Amino acid sequence: ESLMGTYSNIMNHKNTLQFKGDVTISVAAKRIITQFLEDSDLRLGMNGISEIKKHAFFRTDQWTWDNIASCVPPVQPELTSEIDTQNFDPIEDPAPEQQSFPPPMEFQGNHLPFVGFTYQKDMSILKYDGSGIDNPDSSITSELQQEIARVEKARKEIEKNCIMFENKLQVAEKEVVDTSKAL
């Protein structure tokens, strides 16, 4: 799924979250997941970490919060080295897509930190007089607008360069893989 789709599912979890029947999950696990997704005034842990520690999901006779660090984990995979990844499924590396146009600017992952914030006209440095033209309160407004335009132009150039370098890196990585296979 895309970042946007994942974010949308989280924000709309009351309508989209489903626990499939083919996956075994305890009632306590379902409850802790849904309680972590609640609104902030109802969310599990809003009254402190002790609220989370007391949740039924963490009740067990195998460990306590005091001795958990010294307990033997229930599953210990056999590893051949510190970088052994044999227990993970291989990731297919698709060929890089050539972009002929810039990505849409509606919503991107970098907007996530601003979700929940709203723009209020009365808090702006521009005042609207109803004429259809924003009138600056001071000369600083014009300077700020110019600086914003300069920074936005630089940001777009950096994004363009990042996409170009990512594509070049993917091509180089593919060449390395192909060369190592040939050897």
Nearest to 72 by CA among 85, 81, 61, 63: 63
Per-block mean pLDDT, blocks of 10 residues, the chain (183 long)? 79 85 88 90 91 92 88 88 89 66 58 61 50 54 83 88 86 86 80
116-134 in b/e burial notation, b at 16+ Cβ within 10 A? eeeeeeeeeeeeeeeeeee
Whole-number pLDDT of residue 61? 86
Say which residues have a Cβ less than 8 Å from residue 124's Cβ, sequence separation at least 6: none
Whole-number pLDDT of residue 124? 47
Looking at residue 97, what DSSP letter applies? P
Whole-number pLDDT of residue 128? 47
Handedness of CA 66, 70, 74, 79 (dihedral sign): positive
